[in-house]
Structure 1
């Protein structure tokens, strides 16, 4: 088992109590539930992982093929190596996020979109931005597939 798969299995156990493998076909009964409370909880836990000082702890929240376009990043992030490098630097600058407003959660089978307004603290500066996190079930675990934020002017 690769380190990534092992880490996902551990995360699945922590988040869901059991790790459930994804099936090749999806039916309604295969759709994992996701609520507004789940979105808040995952955001809070993601934010807490920033304080851990370990980029790997943050990276575990993201799908291997996640795409990031963040207001506080210089360029889009399209792979796990770049994601880890970004968060290593961001954590050194004390990155924190505080959700100020949330829009209604959009949920489909094994995909959920959380949107709203967030205030990032980074390098002694505060930036208010609109955010979007798209979660997707991969190997039985809800992971961040897409993460975007745009500075509010």
Structure 2
């Protein structure tokens, strides 16, 4: 009888321990409400720094550009043959029958004292006008005598006598004249800056 009573007591005590453990575990996992009158603490958030914005009305800063590189000046003077070849280039321009191509052999500020005109030509338009009429006779020049003077790396003079063969209306004729070409090197190209041509005074 005592054994039975003891077993009952032990069983009841075990049930109490089990129930108590379950209650303790539930209490541990259940969040506890804050006591009345106590304000829960708040986490302080640091203020965010303002983000810089681009001003759409601001004038963009111009990027400086490098100055243009100047064309280096030549240090060596041209040869006489180089200057002689300039007449051939001019004569080849006559063969094109295009007055603009002939005018391309002259500097923009060149002066032309032509063979068969009394008017002095001092600009490109005037030079084109002269050769427009002169090329109608299909001229072809030949150097008879040439004297070349080298003035330096950028200038030279060719003076002498040339003979033009002219053909007009199927008739060929020749005109002998004295000439002076003054050449100047500009931007890497030899151009005529002065051209004087006049028929021989003695027949």
Alignment of 1:2-41 (within 5 A): 22=71, 30-31=74-75, 33-41=77-85
Higher mean C-alpha displacement, 79-88 vs 120-129: 120-129
Unaligned ranges ≥5, structure 2: 1-68
C-alpha spacing 1:74/1:35, structure 2 compared with 1 (3 Å): same
Match of 1:137 in 2: 185
2:155 aligned to 84, 90, 111, which one?
111
- Alpha-carbon distance in 2 for matches of 1:143, 1:79: 14
Larger radius of gyration: 2
Aligned length: 129
Of Structure 1 and Structure 2, the greater strand share is in: 1
- RMSD of Structure 2 on Structure 1 (CA): 2.0
Task: Tell me which residue corresponds to 1:87.
Answer: 131
**Which residues of structure 1 form unaligned runs of 5+?**
1-19
Work out which structure has the larger RCO, using CA pairs closer than 8 Å and 6 or more positions apart in sequence: 1
| Secondary structure of the corresponding residue to residue 48 of structure 1 | helix
Cα distance, 1:59 vs. partner? 1.0
Report the TM-score when normalising by structure 2: 0.58
2:176 is the alignment partner of 1:128: yes
Question: Residues 71 and 139 of structure 1: is their aligned pair in 2 closer, same or farther, counting only changes over 3 Å?
Answer: same
